[in-house]
Amino acid sequence: MDEELGSASVREQLIVAGIAELENHGIADFSLRRVASSCNISCAAPYKHFKSKEALIEAIFDYIKSQLNLLLDQVAAVHQNPKTCLVESCIAYIRFCIANPHFRAVLMLSGKNLPLAQRVKKLMELCFPNMDPVERADRGYVIRSIAYGAALLLESGELEYSDHIIERIKENLIRELEE
Amino acid sequence: MDEELGSASVREQLIVAGIAELENHGIADFSLRRVASSCNISCAAPYKHFKSKEALIEAIFDYIKSQLNLLLDQVAAVHQNPKTCLVESCIAYIRFCIANPHFRAVLMLSGKNLPLAQRVKKLMELCFPNMDPVERADRGYVIRSIAYGAALLLESGELEYSDHIIERIKENLIRELEE
DNA sequence: TTATTCGGTTAACACTGTTAACCATTTTAT
DNA sequence: ATAAAATGGTTAACAGTGTTAACCGAATAA
């Protein structure tokens, strides 16, 4: 019963193989049978672990979300100052999206975008404890708009990734945190 | 062979029915046979008009793109001042995304995001003819990030549409156009 | 008039998601 | 220890999918 450390459970194998399938074929051509094949199990076997193909995809989304949360936890551990933590969280989100291109579409397309949203909300409260909550929330939305938009532009390849552009994004985020 | 004004060609019918299919079933469950059925033609008939299912979807994307271009043309015709035109173009883009939810995902998901991009580029040149091109381009990216990000937040329902929030977005866009 | 293209049809192929029936093994209960 | 049940796999089948081939009639061009 206990998961041996070396080998992943079939459920985990399906999620990992499903991510690869998502990378290689996109969500419009996601084949559960192909995923099963690549795990060397029969086409019906996945149904012992997931109710449906959609349920597997949902599990993949959750897995991705947890990965992003892990990363953002690390950022929070390193940066104590709430403002720099906020900026670095956004940058980490952007880098995460670039490193995992299929993730962003997935995160954005179905209300799975919470990890960054929650952190921005909390950090904004720490940054501006006395600010009018409406104003504070609005600023949070602008910050997230910048992060989401930049991630989109960078991941789509329309905007080329560079240290310079990351610096520019940082500047714009910081500007929202001033005054 | 001349298209009669009243009835649409089969090709157009397929595009319109395809948009409905996209709305009802999403891109992951887009059925070309269902689209054909809803046009009262056989399952093979679409292949007389499109090379493949993907080609139809591509044509749908192009149609959506042209709709957005029409809207942005109207905005350009009304607002002569390049700065206000730029801001209103972004707002029009955001409204367009909200009014046509499936459009945004489509526009964003595959490099079809050009309509706004091109206009922002040109308008930025009009707004800041003497600015360093790199600086100018960077500002354009920030403006688009704000527009794309806001469209995403509004369309996903995470941020509720209101005149107030539109005003806030405008303010933030204008701020990028100052100094 | 003849040939050709245009736009439709039906039939078929390989593939997909999903379920049912079955089976061996492992876990749990009595 | 033995019986029961749950676990996790199998194969076979069904309906639905994208796609192609073969065919066909009408409009068009030679």
Q: How far lies B123's CA from each of A71, B76, B116, in Å?
A: 38, 10, 10
C-alpha gyration radius of chain A: 19
Q: Is the CB of B110 under 7 A from strand D?
A: no
- Chain B residues closer than 8 Å to A141 by CB: 150, 153, 159, 165, 168
Smallest CA-to-CA distance from B153 within A157, A146, A79, A88 is with A146
pLDDT surpassing 50 at residue A165: yes
What is the mean pLDDT of the segment spanning A48-68? 94
pLDDT in tens, B46-62: 999 999 999 999 999 89
- Which residue is closest to B168 within chain A, CA to CA? A138
Residues 6+ apart with CB under 8 A from A76: A85, A89, A119
pLDDT in tens, A63-85: 988 999 999 999 999 999 999 99
**According to the model, what pLDDT value does residue A111 have?**
60
CATH number for A10-50 (one of 1.10.3470, 2.60.40, 1.10.10, 3.40.50): it is 1.10.10
- Residue B27 contacts A where some CB pair is shorter than 8 Å: yes
Residue B59 near residue B9, CB atoms below 8 Å: no
pLDDT surpassing 80 at residue A121: yes
Rounded Cα gap, residues B107 and B67, in angstroms: 12
The nucleotide whose C1' lies nearest the CA of A45 is: D9
Q: Which nucleotides of C are covered by protein (CB under 7 A)?
A: 6-12, 15-21, 26-27
* 3-state SS, residue B125: helix
| Interface probe, candidates A54, A132, A145, A158, chain B, greatest B C-beta count within 10 A | A145
Q: Is the CB of B41 under 7 A from strand D?
A: no
Burial category of B179 from C-beta neighbours within 10 Å (exposed 0-12, middle 13-18, buried 19 and up)? exposed
The nucleotide whose C1' lies nearest the CA of B14 is: C7
What is the mean pLDDT of the segment spanning B83-94? 97
pLDDT surpassing 60 at residue A166: yes
pLDDT surpassing 80 at residue B136: yes
- Residue A157 contacts B where some CB pair is shorter than 8 Å: yes
> Which residues in range 27-56 of chain A are in contact with strand C, contact meaning CB within 7 A of any of its atoms?
30-34, 43-44, 47, 51-54
> Do the domains B61-176 and B10-50 match in fold?
no
Which percentage of chain B shows pLDDT scores above 90?
63
**According to the model, what pLDDT value does residue A108 have?**
64
CA of B102 to C1' of C13 (A): 33
Question: If you write DSSP's letter for every residue of B48-109 in order, what string do you get?
Answer: GT-SSHHHHHHHHHHHHHHHHHHHHHHHHHH--SHHHHHHHHHHHHHHHHHHSHHHHHHHHH
The nucleotide whose C1' lies nearest the CA of B21 is: D17
Residue A139 near residue A176, CB atoms below 8 Å: yes
Pick A146's closest partner by Cβ from B30, B108, B149: B149
- Domain range summary for chain A, segments of one domain joined by +: 10-50, 61-176
- Chain B residues closer than 8 Å to A158 by CB: 111, 113, 117
pLDDT surpassing 50 at residue A5: no
Rounded Cα gap, residues A42 and B152, in angstroms: 39
pLDDT surpassing 60 at residue A31: yes
Rounded Cα gap, residues A65 and A62, in angstroms: 5
pLDDT surpassing 50 at residue A142: yes
CB contact under 8 A, B168 and A113: no
What tokens were used for A103?
């993730």
Choose between A160 and B131: higher pLDDT. B131
- Chain A residues closer than 8 Å to B27 by CB: 27-28
Pick A168's closest partner by Cβ from B138, B147, B169: B138
pLDDT surpassing 70 at residue B66: yes
**According to the model, what pLDDT value does residue B152 have?**
85
**According to the model, what pLDDT value does residue B99 have?**
85
**According to the model, what pLDDT value does residue B109 have?**
58
**According to the model, what pLDDT value does residue B26 have?**
85
pLDDT category at A172 given cuts 50, 70, 90 is confident
Pick A145's closest partner by Cβ from B28, B108, B146: B146
Burial category of B36 from C-beta neighbours within 10 Å (exposed 0-12, middle 13-18, buried 19 and up)? buried
The CATH number of domain A61-176 is 1.10.357.10: yes
Rounded Cα gap, residues A80 and A77, in angstroms: 7
pLDDT in tens, A150-159: 988 888 788 8
Q: How far lies A167's CA from each of A174, B138, B161, in Å?
A: 10, 11, 31
CA of B142 to C1' of C13 (A): 51
First to last CA, chain B: 57
What is the mean pLDDT of the segment spanning B9-22? 95
pLDDT surpassing 60 at residue B5: no
**According to the model, what pLDDT value does residue B81 have?**
97
**According to the model, what pLDDT value does residue A82 have?**
98
Rounded Cα gap, residues B39 and B59, in angstroms: 17
pLDDT category at B40 given cuts 50, 70, 90 is very high
Question: If you write DSSP's letter for every residue of A49-113 in order, what string do you get?
Answer: T-SSHHHHHHHHHHHHHHHHHHHHHHHHHH--SHHHHHHHHHHHHHHHHHHSHHHHHHHHHTT--
Residue A89 near residue A76, CB atoms below 8 Å: yes
pLDDT surpassing 70 at residue A115: yes
For all residues of chain A together, what is the average pLDDT? 89
pLDDT category at A118 given cuts 50, 70, 90 is very high
> Which residues in range 51-90 of chain A are in contact with strand C, contact meaning CB within 7 A of any of its atoms?
51-54
Q: Is the CB of B1 under 7 A from strand D?
A: yes
**According to the model, what pLDDT value does residue A70 have?**
97
pLDDT category at B168 given cuts 50, 70, 90 is confident
- Chain B residues closer than 8 Å to A172 by CB: 142
